[in-house]
Amino acid sequence: METIVRRIDPRRIDPSAVEEAACVLRRGGLVAFPTETVYGLGGDALDPGASAAIYAAKGRPSDNPLIVHIADLSALERLASSVPDAAWRLAKACWPGPLTMILPKAACVPDQTTGGLPTVAVRFPSHPVARALIEASGRYIAAPSANTSGRPSPTCARHVEEDLSGRIDMILDGGECEIGLESTIVDLTEDVPTILRPGYYAEADIRRILGSARTDPGILREDSNVRPKAPGMRYRHYAPRAKIVIVEGKPDDVVRAILTEVRKETAAGRKTAVLCCGEHEGLYPDVRIFSAGHLAREEEIAHNLYTTLRRFDEEGIDTVYSEAFETPSLGSAIMNRLLKAAGHTVLPA
């Protein structure tokens, strides 16, 4: 199939491009579109055939459920069989925006969309193109990240084209995604609101809004006995072809350890690089350096992370030694993605 790419300016949305994409969705087709987190691969969430097509295009395991995107609050009551007070409070504080809630599903949501689970994931995105598209389609839009399963999530239309060109009907190119990491997922079916995937909103933010919050133990450590509750978090993810090793410790020790490891790898004939914060760029002489962004501007690191992971592959890098980016608010989301990309390979400095 030929994939149509339409440019669309988020500040001056061309209604004819949106209508063309909405038409594709209404007839069961797939459209990739920008959101404030990453690009999503959209299909009609209540059409089992469209959900099946999403799994096929991405090569995604069919037990990994999809997030359903909405463009007005009333949709929550149609997709969920019950909506607790906590959901309305979270919606008031975080929607439209980078937050997904898990609720018991209504009968209209097909098992294909929820990967067979009795719950549904719902998000109201803030990106103007996403909102315009959902509204124009008149549907609820299932939209996982628009990457091939296992690859880093796409933060611009070019990434989507790299992975899915020829496999989906259309891409709306609305430029770069602002945040660059996927939404925070909060499970509201548990007694205590539980973060199943860290994102823009940290545990402390959710606790401030709801009075209590915890993080699913399954995503905090690599322990096969503690299974993450979000099925997607079980899979190797966000991974470039390069091997990534995260080096942790005191900053001086980390720099020294990375330089030693880089020398060894290079001597062994492997194309080696360093991923570091902008503040440390000058500390690694004669090494191919990728700066993730400045620690002092953590949103810059989140914004750049997936593009940087893809650049390792573009340059044919074999091994990457990375600093850790334990920043105050976005640090848990950034490190969650980086640890998964590294297959949890951590070297103490």
Residues at the interface with ligand AMP (CB under 6 A): 64-65, 67, 102, 114, 117, 119-121, 144-145, 182, 185, 196-197, 229-233
In angstroms, rounded to a whole number, what is the distance separating the alpha carbons of residues 344 and 12? 42
Q: Closest CB to ligand AMP among 16 and 224? A: 224
Give backbone dihedrals phi and psi of 130, rounded to 5 degrees, phi first.
-60, -45
119 touches, from Mg ion, ligand AMP, none (C-beta below 5 to 8 Å by class): ligand AMP
Decide whether 58 or 243 has the Cβ nearer to ligand AMP: 58
Site for Mg ion in 133-162 (CB under 5 A): 145
| Minimum CB distance to ligand AMP smaller for 45 or for 273 | 45
Task: In whole angstroms, give the CA distance from residue 168 to residue 3.
Answer: 6
Least distance to Mg ion from the beta carbon of 214, Å?
23
| CB contact set of 215 (below 8 Å; sequence gap of 6+) | 194, 195, 198, 203, 332
Between 197 and 243, CB nearer to ligand AMP:
197
d(CA 70, CA 130): 9
164 binds, among Mg ion, ligand AMP, none (CB under 5 to 8 A by kind): none
Out of ligand AMP, Mg ion, none, what residue 230 binds, judged by CB under 5 to 8 A for its kind, is: ligand AMP
Axis-axis angle for helices 85-94, 203-210 (nearest 10): 120
121, 70, 77, 74: which is closest to 96 by C-alpha? 70
Nearer to Mg ion, 145 or 336 (CB): 145
Closest to ligand AMP by CB, 226 vs 296, is: 226
Least Å distance between CB 60 and ligand AMP? 8
Residue 269 CB, shortest distance to ligand AMP, in Å, is 36
Q: Which residue is nearest to ligand AMP (CB)?
A: 232
Among 255, 310, 312, CA closest to 279: 255
Query: What is the secondary structure of 285-303 as a DSSP string?
Result: TTSEEEE---GGGHHHHHH
Q: DSSP secondary-structure letter at 117?
A: -
DSSP-derived 3-state class of residue 262 = helix
> Smallest distance, Å, CB 66 to ligand AMP?
6
Q: Which residues form the interface with Mg ion (CB under 5 A)?
A: 145
